[in-house]
Amino acid sequence: MTENDTLAQYSDWAFESAFAVLVLALLLLIAEYATHRADVVAERERELVAAGRQQAPAERATGPGRIDQTPRRTVSQRLGNMGRALVVVVAGLQLASIVLRGLATERFPLGNMYEFVSMACTAAVIFGLIVLRKPAYRIMWVYLVVPVLILMFLAATVLYADAAPVVPALRSFWLPIHVTIISVGSGIFLVSGVASVLFLLRIRFPKGEERSGVFAAIAERLPDAQTLDRLAYRTTIIGFPLFGAGIILGAIWAEAAWGRFWGWDPKETVSFISWVVYAAYLHARATSGWRNTRAAWINIVGFVTVLFNLFIINMVVSGLHSYAGLN
């Protein structure tokens, strides 16, 4: 099997372009966040001025020649819309990078950590475009883009691997099934984890009771705690069965490749621990007395175990799943 260096280069360029566009999107989203307070103050001033004026007679207001002026979008709204439009471009570039990497190597592009993280980030962005489309959720894009950028940076630097054939153990039809489900589930858990972190911040600074300080200023534009908690719960409900299915399918693949379904390999073990933690979160979320901050902390711990499995287990601990592909 030979690699197409040209397509591999195009794949890298698409990934790098996605990173650059996402940085620009983050700057626009931060600008939206920063200018929102000024827009709110200006809107209140306009309302006070309008309230102080004497209203014109009804026949004059509705007579011929009246111009119906619809409210213009504020500066923050325009910046936010541009930032979210760029996120859509990022999703397209990420998908192009994955497809080109697969065409360059003539295999499914999930053979090393670079490709896995790329797929997980793509899943997080696309899932974010789906679940954060409501106006109440849009401000959360700032906090989702930051961890995605960090992961993409690590993928392009520390984790990067040249386009090449996979090791013989991964040459199986189970690769696109098992690893894709796990990577997509991990991307969904990223969205859920961000929602739980913001939920804890909102609990610390309730809506309308924000005080001075950096964290209070951050919390000011967040949705209410119930909305954030609901988002974390609903996204976990989607990611949990996906991740569990990925573990089960991995066990079936292990039986075909190594002659046993489960061998307590480090990656198998930590993946199972992650699944148990998320099961505990869903149970705690439905249990009286655990629904608030305790359940949110369990959800965050679950995503920490996913990151631990991705970086520490793959890069530090040796096992049957040691396919990092690091140079």
pLDDT band at 59 (very low <50, low <70, confident <90, very high): very low
Q: How far is CA 323 from CA 33, 133, 248, 287, in A?
A: 41, 36, 19, 39
CA distance 224 to 206: 8
The predicted structure's pLDDT at residue 154: 96
Sign of CA dihedral 218, 221, 226, 227: negative
Cα–Cα dist 77/101, whole Å: 36
Task: Find the range with the poorest average confidence among 12-26, 42-56, 150-164, 232-246.
Answer: 42-56
Query: At 114, is the secondary structure helix, strand, or coil?
Result: helix
pLDDT at position 215 is 75
Read off the pLDDT of residues 193-212 as tens digits, 9 standing for 90 and up.
999 999 999 998 887 666 66
User: What pLDDT score was predicted for residue 257?
Assistant: 80
Indicate the burial class of 280 (C-beta count within 10 angstroms; 0-12, 13-18, 19 or more).
Answer: middle
Residue ranges of alpha helices (H) inside 132-171 are 141-156
CA pair distance 119, 269, nearest whole angstrom: 22
Percentage of the chain beyond pLDDT 90 is 54
Residue 281's nearest CA partner among 179, 195, 187 is 195
**Average pLDDT, whole number, for the chain?**
85
- Give me the mean pLDDT over the 176-192 stretch: 95
Burial 234-262 (b: 16+ CB within 10 A, else e): ebbebbbebbbebbebbbebbeeeeeeee
Say if CB 303 and CB 210 are below 8 A apart.
no
Buried b (16+ CB within 10 A) or exposed e, 182-199: bbbbbbbbbbbbbbbbbb
Taking the domains of the chain in order of start, what are their residue ranges?
5-43+76-315
Q: Is 109 exposed, middle or buried (0-12, 13-18, 19+ CB in 10 A)?
A: buried
Average pLDDT over residues 111-123: 94
At residue 64, the pLDDT reads 52
Segment 120-129 shows an average pLDDT of 96
Binned at pLDDT 50, 70 and 90, residue 37 comes out as low
- How far is it, in rounded angstroms, from Cα 201 to Cα 183? 27
Identify which has the larger pLDDT, 292 or 97. 97
84 vs 263, residue with greater confidence: 84
